[in-house]
A and B are shown apart, each in its own frame.
Chain A
């Protein structure tokens, strides 16, 4: 018979018929395991069904529900309300065009990732083996390992620089580093040319905000620095005159 705990959400609203963005306030029930996404879906169910929210897997592996909660980029489905205080400010990812309320057009993520051409599967790591012996337990198939990045866009939103559409951004730069680490038929020279740019790896200001918010363990900040190390190791001989040195991938 305890009174149900509630939480006050201040939610960013900006629909196609709105002249300007606004913040709507909703008070919804919240228990110890209620996530931000739960609370937003409660808003849709109980208060305002027009609130636009996008999600999919509900367990932090698809990257669809990325948004800013109290200014910090998170996946809403795995962010607990009870850790956040009251009220909770919910906004869409920064630097992206808003399709409606909390849903953004993810084109800014994909158009950066696509030219890098990093495959989805990491060839260097596999899990499990085909077990030929007759055994009681289940046989593990040879498992493929996906790259860590779930393309959620949190890093691009958090990055202090990525508001500039020319900047390749943490996700694409980390992807480039992966391609250089495992070329798998790609031309390393082309990738190095892509990132060796004032708006490529050199635009990063070592804030490491991307690594702090990445939900998938990509550590884009560190990847960018490794990329810069590669560029320097390959560039420096050129700068001191050895122009015909082969590019080391």
Chain B
């Protein structure tokens, strides 16, 4: 027999119209997989190749001036900020964040993420071009 589904949940059109939850999952998975690669590269190249593990000031500047390194570090920054802030949002949701507070926090987290990326990119630029 045909089953009845409540109107407020049925909304078959919702299925077509809103990819956001699936997109959020895919973004987290994609950024996570990218981070596995990028962070490994970052850790090895930054700390396990150099004698003593840490570069001096001059070495850092020379390293960051390499365009491939610059690009990788920038991509790493974007991925880690996205992944991390999305993760914090999930944690806050599970701590009971709801309603208006949830919307405000989501907006604030978004702003923090943007600010973080902008700051990091600016820092990269300053080291590479003004070092």
Residues of A contacting B6 in the complex (Cβ-Cβ under 8 angstroms):
114-115
**Quick one: CB contact mask for B1-21 with A, threshold 8 Å, 1 for yes?**
111111011111111101111
A117-B5 in contact given A193-B10, A193-B12, A196-B15 (Cβ < 8 Å)? yes
User: What separation, in Å, do the CA atoms of A191 and B19 have in the docked complex?
Assistant: 15
Which residues of B are found within 8 Å of A132, using beta-carbon distances?
none
B22 CB contact (under 8 Å) in A115, A117, A231: A231
Smallest Cβ distance from B129 to chain A, in angstroms?
37
Interface extent on B, as a size class? 20 to 34
Does A143 have its Cβ within 8 Å of any Cβ on chain B?
A: no
Interface string of A5-44 (1 = CB under 8 A from B): 0000000000000000000000000000000000000000
Q: In the complex the two chains form, is A161's CB within 8 Å of B5's CB?
A: no
Interface assignment of B94: CB less than 8 Å from any CB of chain A:
yes
For window 12-45 of B, CB contacts with A under 8 Å fall at: 12-16, 18-26
Min CB distance B78 to A, Å, is 20
A-B pairs with beta carbons under 8 A, tally: 84
Give the number of residues in A that approach B within 8 Å (Cβ atoms). Answer: 37
A194 CA to B4 CA, complexed, in Å:
13
Q: Which residues of B contact A145 (CB under 8 A)?
A: none
Q: Which residues of A contact B18 (CB under 8 A)?
A: 196
- Contact: A189 with B3, CB < 8 Å? no
Pairwise interchain contact B21-A197, C-beta atoms closer than 8 A? yes
Q: Are A202 and B24 in contact, with the CB atoms below 8 A?
A: yes
Interface positions of B (Cβ within 8 A of A): 1-6, 8-16, 18-26, 90, 93-94, 96, 98
Please give 11 more A-B residue pairs, beta carbons under 8 A apart, in addition to A164-B93, A232-B26. Answer: A115-B10, A117-B4, A184-B1, A184-B3, A187-B10, A193-B13, A193-B14, A196-B14, A200-B21, A202-B21, A235-B19
